[in-house]
Amino acid sequence: MEQRRRVRRSESTWREIVARQAASGRPVEVFCREEGLSRSVFTRWRSRLAVSESRAVAARGARPRPTPFVEVGELLNEMARTIRLELGAGIVLTISG
């Protein structure tokens, strides 16, 4: 088995990668496989960046922006009747209808 060479990336590079994954709409597993990234390293950085952002928001005294509401009923009619939400910190919520 071929060993991968370890690549060190800066925090700003990881911010870009995490933003690209979120914008892509692809599941983390698929995104990481296509980008040649370790899923565990990706999720660790995503969590680390989320904590860092929360602390920055708290330090500014600002409130985080709410996540927009998504009408699940409409999505279920168009999708395969299963929604998987990755909430961070290894927590995954799966809704089947």
Provide the b/e sequence for 23-61 (b: ≥16 CB within 10 Å). eeeeebeebbeeeebeeeebbebbeebeeeeeeeeeeee
User: Does 1 map to a domain?
Assistant: no
pLDDT tens, 25-74? 899 999 999 999 999 999 999 999 888 877 776 677 766 667 676 665 65
For 85, the domain range is 67-97
User: Does 60 map to a domain?
Assistant: yes
Q: Is the pLDDT of residue 16 over 80?
A: yes
Same-domain check for residues 60 and 82: no
* pLDDT for 51: 82
Same-domain check for residues 13 and 60: yes
Same-domain check for residues 59 and 13: yes
Cα–Cα distance between 3 and 95 in angstroms, integer? 37
